[in-house]
Structure 1
Amino acid sequence: MSSRTVALLLCMACLAFAPAQARDAYRIETVAEGLEYPWSLAFLPGGDVLVTERVGRLRLIRDGRLQPAPVEGVPGDIHVGRQTGLMEVALDPRFEENGFVYLTHAYGTTPANNTRLVRARWDGERLHGARVLFDALPAKAGDSHYGGRIAFLPDETLVLTLGDAFVLREEAQNPANHLGKLVRLTRDGAVPGDNPFADRSDAAREIYSLGHRNVQGIAVVDGQVWASEHGPRGGDELNRIVPGANYGWPLVTHGVDYTWARISPYTELPGMEQPVVQWTPSIAPAGLLHYTGGLFPQWRGDFFLPTLAEKSVRRVRLRDGAEAGQEVLFAELGARIRDVRQAPDGALWLLTDEEAGRVLRVVPVAGEANEEE
């Protein structure tokens, strides 16, 4: 084999394994840093951005700069633990009319706590009139598995993700409580009359789906709810959510316990939904975005999952409801990624899950075509 042939083969190998940055031509910019475990963000009309810190603070980014003082009006009874505290921030579908902002946080104490949904009014500087809309029950011990993400359906009801409390995983199969469930509520916290369990006396009327472990990602695409879920050691999932359906945990799983003990011999059972995508070993998906922007046309229609264990963002492409390819992005950051959001201009924003966490912005490299090959 000639030296020229060897060089050509080496060049082809380099292209085949080129980093995502070279293939997709993006640049990562730092918007803000020094946030303590940032968890979620929301883009306000006019360009301001709200960011939650897990330790119980809400922060404001204005004119591209993190304001030094936390936002006032956040509930003062937030329970902060190893995996929880202040979590989601989201704007009402009619925010420009009513100024409503939704927050999720843990309530209670370490021996007795769970997830709470709160609504307050934003006046451009602070929150007013924080009101509890929903408390997940029962209150449980420990500081693990809270869910905490919300998304709005086309009818403007909302779906809230919840966890199984880790130590009470069997309760994910019990329709009488909220552990290991998705719940659907009106924007005032009431139970919609067409919820799948609304007419059952033996079930929690808020339940939208059950059999979940810890859902920390949710997106609504053309009215269809999608959710990403933490498995144990393996068995992370991307699910298409059917109202009233059972997603199997802990009777059905591709994962094993952290002790390597088998949780269940079954990866499927009759009457229980299968994931569209599952990851073993675990990547630890902490959020979910369906990209619709114009800055990266080659990504349009794909799902993006920020990961804690893999320290990346997984890009997942589906075709006809089935996986059609994946890509690992932003691993060069070497950081646990807690959230990924699409900005109004089509840029991706990332939050790093660190004691000195960062808000990052992903934009195309100037002059690049960014077209899918």
Structure 2
Amino acid sequence: MIMPSRTLVCFAFGFALGFAPLAAGAQSNTSSAGPLAVETVAKGLDHPWALAFLPDSRMLVTERPGRIRIVTAKGELSTPLANVPKVVARSQGGLLDLILDRNFAQNRTIYFSYAEPFDGGARTAVARATLDAGEAPALRDVKVIFQQAGPASRGQHFGGRIVQSADDNLFITTGDHFSDRDMAQTLDNDIGKVVRITPNGEAPKDNPFVDRSGARAVIWSYGHRNPQGLTVNPADGSLWEQEHGARGGDEINVIRPGKNYGWPVVSYGVNYDGTPVGTGKQRAEGMEDPLWHWTPSIAPSGLTFYTGDLFPQWKGSLFSGALRAQFLSRLEIKDGKPVREERLLTNLNERIRDVRQGPDGALYLLTDENNGRILRVTPGR
């Protein structure tokens, strides 16, 4: 279920962490869990965006120009999967998130988001497909199940994160396209929203705006800017989201049905030119306050709760990548809210696009570069 959010607005603080090289291409960083070993699992990826683990421990990785590859534990890259739909790989657009269906072992179903060509620009879309991971890997039975309603983006703020909840329904984030931000406050479009659909693309009957005239039935929450992190807290089933602000005001939110998260009326940041956002206020009645915000902005992306055994000290922590600030953020969660941040891998000097927990309990990161890497983070010595 989706649990009520608790309000705590904190300025992010962290501490610089040491760095010492290890042999065989690894590196070590000190942390509250002791030294960290960072090894390159694979390289040579073109702006990888999302990572998902197959049951045999191989990985599926999306590349923003429009490719999906299978990657072995030894870092071997497959040829690009056939039958990926055409994407608009321009500016921030392209092939984005990817997840496995909860019943993947039985149905081989995956879901992926992308910038779909639309009206001279692009819009956020989500497709469902069956994975054929044989000698000639391909997608089969590709079906588009969501297409963002509203004007086309010219290349910015697509959102695109996907999460499947325990009831099998899908949550999808959409951005405000940068230029259409006022539409994040209206319900007749999918701009700046979190939407909830069934695996077939329908609006579940218990969505909050199903019976409201003029409102899109798929909308779950609104008032978002560019959400690039989405995950379910395994402790209580609550839906956590993270989104980019402008100059400051990056947010962590617990997403509740029908709630308004404020953009672009209120923000803890300012516009890129230094002018106030909206009302110039940080909060307003009827709009949800973030649990946490980063000011200055770190440009967060990727979001996961840690449940593994490799780092017992970090169980229940929330991890996020940082694009602009180029580090791995660990938020300590207490009583359902972030209370402290630890900044890890601060000398990595690469944009972290995604963070996932592997089946081995390690943390896996994607670096968003022309020669992007998959990194594995484990306890060091």
Normalised by the size of structure 1, how large is the TM-score?
Answer: 0.91
One-letter code aligned to 1:297:
P
In the alignment, is residue 189 of structure 1 matched against residue 201 of structure 2?
A: yes
Does the 8 Å contact 1:79/1:109 carry over to 2? no
In the alignment, is residue 331 of structure 1 matched against residue 346 of structure 2?
A: yes
Does the 8 Å contact 1:185/1:191 carry over to 2? yes
Q: Give the fraction of aligned pairs with identical amino acids, expressed as a percent.
A: 45
Q: Tell me how far 1:361 sits from its aligned partner.
A: 0.6
Q: Tell me how far 1:70 sits from its aligned partner.
A: 1.2
Larger fraction in helix: 1
Does the 8 Å contact 1:110/1:141 carry over to 2? no
Select 1:260's aligned residue among 261, 265, 274: 274
For the residue of structure 1 that corresponds to 2:301, the secondary structure is coil
Q: Find the counterpart in structure 2 of residue 209 from structure 1.
A: 221
Select 1:95's aligned residue among 90, 104, 113: 104
1:37-69 CA-partner distances (Å, limit 9, x unpaired): 000011001111000000001111124232252
Cα-Cα RMSD: 1.4
Q: Find the counterpart in structure 2 of residue 19 from structure 1.
A: 18
Separation (CA, whole Å) in 1 of partners of 2:230 and 2:132: 27
One-letter code aligned to 1:89:
L
The gaps in structure 2 that reach 5 residues or longer are 1-14, 20-28
Separation (CA, whole Å) in 2 of partners of 1:338 and 1:141: 21
The gaps in structure 1 that reach 5 residues or longer are 1-15, 367-373
For the residue of structure 1 that corresponds to 2:347, the secondary structure is helix
Does the 8 Å contact 1:347/1:363 carry over to 2? yes
1:130-164 CA-partner distances (Å, limit 9, x unpaired): 11001001132410000001111111111001100
One-letter code aligned to 1:257:
N
In the alignment, is residue 38 of structure 1 matched against residue 37 of structure 2?
A: no
For the residue of structure 2 that corresponds to 1:240, the secondary structure is strand
Q: Find the counterpart in structure 2 of residue 250 from structure 1.
A: 264
Does the 8 Å contact 2:115/2:124 carry over to 1? yes
One-letter code aligned to 1:255:
G
Separation (CA, whole Å) in 1 of partners of 2:42 and 2:154: 32
Q: Tell me: CA distance 1:17–1:236, structure 2 relative to 1, closer, same or farther (3 Å).
A: closer
Q: Find the counterpart in structure 1 of residue 6 from structure 2.
A: none
One-letter code aligned to 1:22:
T
Separation (CA, whole Å) in 1 of partners of 2:205 and 2:243: 27
1:92-121 CA-partner distances (Å, limit 9, x unpaired): 011011000111001115833210000110
Does the 8 Å contact 1:88/1:150 carry over to 2? yes
Superposed, 1:225-304 pairs within 5 Å as 225-264=239-278, 265-304=280-319
Separation (CA, whole Å) in 1 of partners of 2:267 and 2:43: 38
Normalised by the size of structure 2, how large is the TM-score?
Answer: 0.89
For the residue of structure 1 that corresponds to 2:342, the secondary structure is strand
1:343-364 CA-partner distances (Å, limit 9, x unpaired): 0111000000101111111111
Q: Find the counterpart in structure 2 of residue 111 from structure 1.
A: 120
Q: Find the counterpart in structure 1 of residue 326 from structure 2.
A: 311
Separation (CA, whole Å) in 2 of partners of 1:321 and 1:311: 26
Separation (CA, whole Å) in 1 of partners of 2:108 and 2:17: 45
Q: Which gives a bigger RCO, structure 1 or 2 (Cα 8 Å, sep 6+)?
A: 2
Q: Tell me how far 1:261 sits from its aligned partner.
A: 1.4
Q: Find the counterpart in structure 2 of residue 56 from structure 1.
A: 66
One-letter code aligned to 1:289:
T
For the residue of structure 1 that corresponds to 2:151, the secondary structure is coil
In the alignment, is residue 358 of structure 1 matched against residue 368 of structure 2?
A: no
Superposed, 1:57-206 pairs within 5 Å as 57-75=67-85, 77-108=86-117, 111-125=120-134, 126-206=138-218
